[in-house]
Structure 1
Amino acid sequence: MEETNIICEECGASLTDMNARCPNCNSEKKIVHLHFEERIGPMYESISGKKVDLSLPSKKKIVEKFFDGHDQSADGDWVYKKQIISREKDYYFEEVKISQGKIIHFCEEPLSEHRNHGSAKFKK
């Protein structure tokens, strides 16, 4: 938000046009007061990464992936999500919490048993 207040330096009259002369005393001298205000909304942070084994074929190079932080859910709300997918340890972990800390989704199981979830449930 930005506010500007312009006052004639000679007679103190309140002015509306910074480029015009004062209508009371015909002075060009002005005092300009500027007020700036900036508001920042909530900040969302996350980190993700992957472990790669270059000796494996291209589709199997990524042996582990992780995500930790805020993510936007399908309905547009922001949630906290922690996810670990490890092929080398046969491990899958996912926990999703709303802003009040309540867990809305939790899954921890061997990756080999993690089937028909997310986008995988549409594959034939």
Structure 2
Amino acid sequence: VIHLELSDNVDCPVTEWLDLKVKNENLPSKKKLRTHIQTGQQLSTRLGRYVDKERVLDKDNDRYMEIVTDPLTGEVLRHCEEALSVHQGHGSA
């Protein structure tokens, strides 16, 4: 099943945000989500402008990856690659 949602708002800058989820419907509800990929531009509250963000949570391969870059300078603001099983203490983890 692919769920694709597109929206447009003329009051804000043009940005892209892709949110993909891969689920295994044969598993119990809390374990259905196997892979979650997010990529695109997201508003940084610290900078007050949009940054490029890519995040991958892959339960089947025990992988967490997040890269945040400043599109104006190319500076990497955050780069985290680690086993998903050790990615604790962040948000709702």
TM-score bucket of the superposed structures, by smaller chain? 0.7 to 0.9
TM-score of the pair, normalised by structure 1: 0.60
Q: Distance in 1 between matches of 2:29 and 2:16?
A: 30
> For residue 98 of structure 1, what is the amino acid of its counterpart?
D
- For 1:95, which of 67, 76, 81 is the aligned residue? 67
Deviations 1:92-121 (A, max 9, x none): 00000112211000100110111112343x
Structure 2, unpaired ranges of 5+: 1-10
1:72 to partner: Cα distance:
1.3
Residue 83 of structure 2 aligns with which residue? 110
Residue 3 of structure 2 aligns with which residue? none
- Report the secondary structure of 1:112's partner residue: helix
- For 1:45, which of 10, 13, 16 is the aligned residue? 16
- Structure 1 stretches of at least 4 aligned residues deviating more than 6 Å after TM superposition: none
Query: Percent identity between the aligned chains?
Result: 36
- For 2:36, which of 50, 55, 65 is the aligned residue? 65
Residue 58 of structure 2 aligns with which residue? 86
Higher relative contact order (CA 8 A, sep 6+): 2
Q: CA RMSD in A?
A: 1.9
How many residue pairs align between the two structures? Answer: 82
Q: Distance in 2 between matches of 1:92 and 1:42?
A: 29
Larger Rg over CA atoms: 1
Residues 41, 63 of structure 1: CA spacing in aligned structure 2 closer, same or farther, 3 A cutoff? closer
Residues 74, 119 of structure 1: CA spacing in aligned structure 2 closer, same or farther, 3 A cutoff? farther
> For residue 114 of structure 1, what is the amino acid of its counterpart?
H
TM-score of the pair, normalised by structure 2: 0.78
Structure 1, unpaired ranges of 5+: 1-39
